[in-house]
Structure 1
Amino acid sequence: MEKILIKNGRVVDPANYIDGKKDILIEDGKIKKVADFIVEDEDTNVIDADEKVVMPGFIDLHVHLREPGFEYKETIETGSKAAARGGVTSICPMPNTKPVIDSPESVKDLLKRAECSPVHILPIGACTIGQEGKELADIEGMKDAGIVALSEDGKSVMDSALFRKSLKEAARLDLPMFSHCEDKALVEGGVMNKGQKAEELGLPGITNSVEDVIVARDIIMSKEAGNRLHLCHCSTADSVVLVEMAKKQGLPVSAEVCPHHFTMSDDEITEDNGRFKMNPPLRNREDVDALKEGLKTGIMEVISTDHAPHGKEEKDQSMLKAPFGIVGLETSFALGYTELVDKGVLTLSQLVEKMSVNPAKVLGIDKGNLAPGKAADIVIADITKEYKIDSSKFVSKGKNTPFDGKKVKGRVITTIVDGKIVYKY
């Protein structure tokens, strides 16, 4: 493998308390040296990162790659290349494919398919067979095959007794449970947040209790089972309150917020169009402010995308007919930097913690760290120049985003995975 020397960049590495100008030398896929000045050799590929930031590669705990079964929406190849374009060096695909990732064989098949991926693929297995909520999946077999977590994402396991069994099995095997918190019985056909905007558009609404009831249930049940719990795509103010309560009790509970939920509120929905339809929905301004405060105080530890691509025809229609979902792999850092760092909610180091360091901690993997000897998963970005998000240039097959044309800062310039350049702007 070629030697790479990243020079003159502002290295932001919260795990090692570094935020300053450094050089980084990469050899044999690993970080060899980090110093104020490193002399370049003739056989070294030098990357001049002057006026750029150099960070540990981002880890996205919540991604839908759609393969197998829905390749017209996304493939592992297109989704992983979209991740590389967004500076994401490790992604966790959710199991709601067709067939569902619910057995050792399906995990092995996914990893075989993922050999085309330029980034690390860390699979998540389903709690129940077929995600039907009736019978526990072979969780131990899936762990042996390579899953890093469990989730019924796309739905909740509504049978509490069965969910308790999955939590206990997760605890026994030391697998975190990723909870999609949605009480299906309370949705009642809703397609966006229940409130004034929904009334104006004449659309059925989704109340906050749809999420909050299951957040509370899953925290209580995980406390009893003794497992690690990670709450996916939190969108309400009371989710933040409940997570804070759990943390005060010393429970191993973590929570993620998606860029769309801290960037937009439902009052910014301009029309009845599927690009604004996501699950959970865009909430009201009070919820958005609470999520930002939760990120600022560290109650909400992780930023993930819930990248959910769909076909153009599926999304370009009324929210009554369109599927839920928004893409995010190629915009997550830019939205995070623009909405949180540029506006003074977080420091850049805190943003990197939530996109690199903390996701690694949730999974218990040795990433999110630029110390010598660590894998060279690195992202270089330009935070100085403003640009417009252009969904027509997305590598992902999915173009379903309400952020098309939005002005942002934080363009990813180079992505390196295991010492290999996998994306260059």
Structure 2
Amino acid sequence: MKKILIKNGYVIDPGSERKGCYDILIEGEKVERIEEEITCGKNADIIDAEGKIVVPGFIDLQVNPGNTIEYICEMLPSCGITTPLIMPCNVNGIPFLDYYGGLRGVIDASDGQRVNVANAISIEPPDTGAHETYMQLATPVNSIKSRIEEFIELGITAVGEVVLPLGGTAHITTSMSEEFLDKLLNETERHDIPILLHTGLGLQGIEKAVEVSSGRKMHICHVGSTCSQDNIHKALVLLSENGNITSDTHLSEVAGSNSRNSKLVVEYFDKGQAVHIDAQTLKVEKVEDINKARPPFYYNKVNLFENNIICALSEQVDAIESDDLGDGIRSKILLKNLFKLVNSVALEHVKHELMYKMIKKLTINPAKILKINRGTLGEGAFADAVILDLHNERVETVMVNGKIVLFNGKLTGEKGGKRIRFKS
């Protein structure tokens, strides 16, 4: 079996508490050895990473397949993402389950891609309205238990993104958020399956979610965006006081949706602030006719970017995710802002410390939240590796399960991805 040796790189791997110059020897799907210097002779293909940073592949806790699962999986390696948690949304304007012909179709589409795919499927209250995909995922209260058991049998990685207007506007409408969340948490706790929650806008939504959780495990999505018009510091204090709750943040200046019927999209369109963004140039163009325009739709919120930066730097927020809408735009923005943030630091050792903190939130922390065996480059770990050119602010090489899927910034013919099952 051919081996690959990554030499001379500066390794940042919070999962194995490693930071420094190391060589990494990969055989098959896994890391065989990691040492300060490895000599392999002619038995390995050598990748010279001198002057580059080598990190575990990013695990993105929220990616939406707006242009299909297959499409977004082709886009993600150039952003360093090797394992997206793909959540339900409208796909090419069609509700998620309709597009793929049900959960089995989703699962079939998730295997053998260029990146690993972890699946999250939401469970929503039976009176859910205002969003086509989430209305399809509405579940009677007495069927929550059997629905979760179905997910586990199919290997669905997590329950989510559960969207509930706790305390404010969300992408859906429902009158039974608190009651439903309480019953849902009983079942996710019993099965020890991760649950990811999108609360209604504002600090009140996070406060209500924490209150309903009553010590049960739960993950709250994109805290910085949720609290964009409230006191983010109060939210961070609340999270620090409740060890059962994990959380994440965007690292982006835009929020968005794949549904023109989303209450948030309609709200920002009425303000004249809903826009399209070009996937290649990131050029912004105002949406003129919401009924004729094709999703996704993007918009900004007051204090959105400021809050996301605060959360990305805060010890109280566990992970950074893109919430990509399936066109690769917010994954690119995440990477761009990550590079800009780190490169704003002058002192080299401080730059590496900041990079360590950011990489931890993109690798081992989300792996622990999802309870999956990824997010590190320790010996015996799956070889999901990314070589970053920090100076030129780009992803140079990406490996997924030991296969090189991106080299010198360009996709190869390899597809190394696997479907990541619950507790895999």
Pick one of 319, 335, 340 that aligns with 2:337. Answer: 335
Distance 2:29 2:390 in 1: 26
Aligned residue in 2 for 1:378: 385
Q: 1:400-411 alignment to 2 at 5 Å?
A: 409=393, 411=394
In structure 2, do the counterparts of structure 1 residues 111 and 341 end up closer, same or farther at CA, with 3 Å as the change threshold?
Answer: farther
The CA distance in 2 between the partners of 1:220 and 1:271, in whole Å, is 34
**1:135 has 2:135 as partner:** no
For residue 107 of structure 1, report the CA deviation from its aligned partner: 3.4
SS where residue 219 of structure 1 aligns? helix
CA contact under 8 A between 2:31 and 2:377: conserved in structure 1?
A: yes
Give the paired residue count.
345
**CA distance in 2 between partners of 1:383 and 1:88 (Å):** 16
CA distance in 2, matches of 1:107, 1:36: 46
* 1:244 partner SS: helix
Note the aligned Cα RMSD (angstroms).
3.2
1:39 maps onto 2:39 in alignment? yes
Is residue 212–residue 239 contact of structure 1 (8 Å, CA) maintained in 2? yes
Partner of 2:221: 231
1:15-414, aligned counterparts within 5 Å? 15-66=15-66, 74-97=67-90, 98-100=94-96, 106-128=102-124, 131-132=134-135, 133=138, 135-136=140-141, 138-151=147-160, 152-153=162-163, 154-155=171-172, 158-159=175-176, 160-182=178-200, 210-223=201-214, 226-232=216-222, 234-235=224-225, 236=227, 238=230, 240-261=232-253, 273-275=275-277, 281-285=299-303, 288-309=305-326, 327-340=329-342, 342-343=344-345, 347-385=354-392, 409=393, 411-414=394-397
Between the aligned partners of 1:106 and 1:79, the Cα distance in structure 2 is 19
Deviation readout 1:395-414 (Å, 9 max, x if unpaired) = xxxxxxxxxxxxxx2x0011
- CA distance 1:290–1:95, shift in 2 (3 Å): closer
Q: CA deviation at 1:249?
A: 3.0
**Structure 2, unpaired ranges of 5+:** 127-132, 164-170, 256-267, 278-283, 287-295, 410-424
Instruction: Using the TM superposition, give the Cα deviation of residue 149 of structure 1 relative to its aligned residue in structure 2, in angstroms.
Output: 1.5
Letter in 2 for 1:107: L
The letter for the 2-side match of 1:15 is G
What is the distance in 2 between the residues matched to 1:248 and 1:299? Answer: 6
Distance 2:254 2:89 in 1: 25
Distance 2:120 2:383 in 1: 24
- Secondary structure in structure 2 of the residue aligned to 1:50: coil
**Segment drifting more, 84-93 vs 272-281:** 272-281
Q: In percent, how many aligned pairs have the same letter?
A: 24
Question: SS at 1:352's partner residue?
Answer: helix
1:201 maps to which residue? none
Which residue identity does 2:81 align to in structure 1? V
CA distance in 2, matches of 1:127, 1:327: 27
Q: Distance in 1 between matches of 2:41 and 2:173?
A: 55
Measured against aligned partners, the alpha-carbon deviations of 1:281-307 in whole angstroms (never above 9, x if no partner) come to 53334x544443333231122110010
Q: Is the 8 A contact 2:62 2:321 kept in 1?
A: yes
Shift of the 157–418 alpha-carbon distance from structure 1 to 2, 3 Å rule, reads farther
- Structure 1 Cα separation of the partners of residues 237 and 381 of structure 2: 35
1:13 paired to 2:13: yes
TM-score by length of 2: 0.73
Is the Cα–Cα contact under 8 Å of residues 7 and 50 in structure 1 kept in the other structure? yes
- Which residue matches 1:404? none
Indicate if the aligned counterparts of 2:275 and 2:297 stay in contact, CA closer than 8 A: no
Partner of 1:189: none
Query: Can you give the 5+ residue segments of structure 1 that lack an aligned partner in the other structure?
Result: 67-73, 183-209, 311-325, 386-408
* Per-residue deviation, 1:214: 2.0
1:422 is matched with which residue?
405
Cα distance, 1:341 vs. partner? 5.1
Tell me if the contact between 2:221 and 2:249 (Cα under 8 Å) persists in the aligned partners. no
SS at match of 2:41: coil
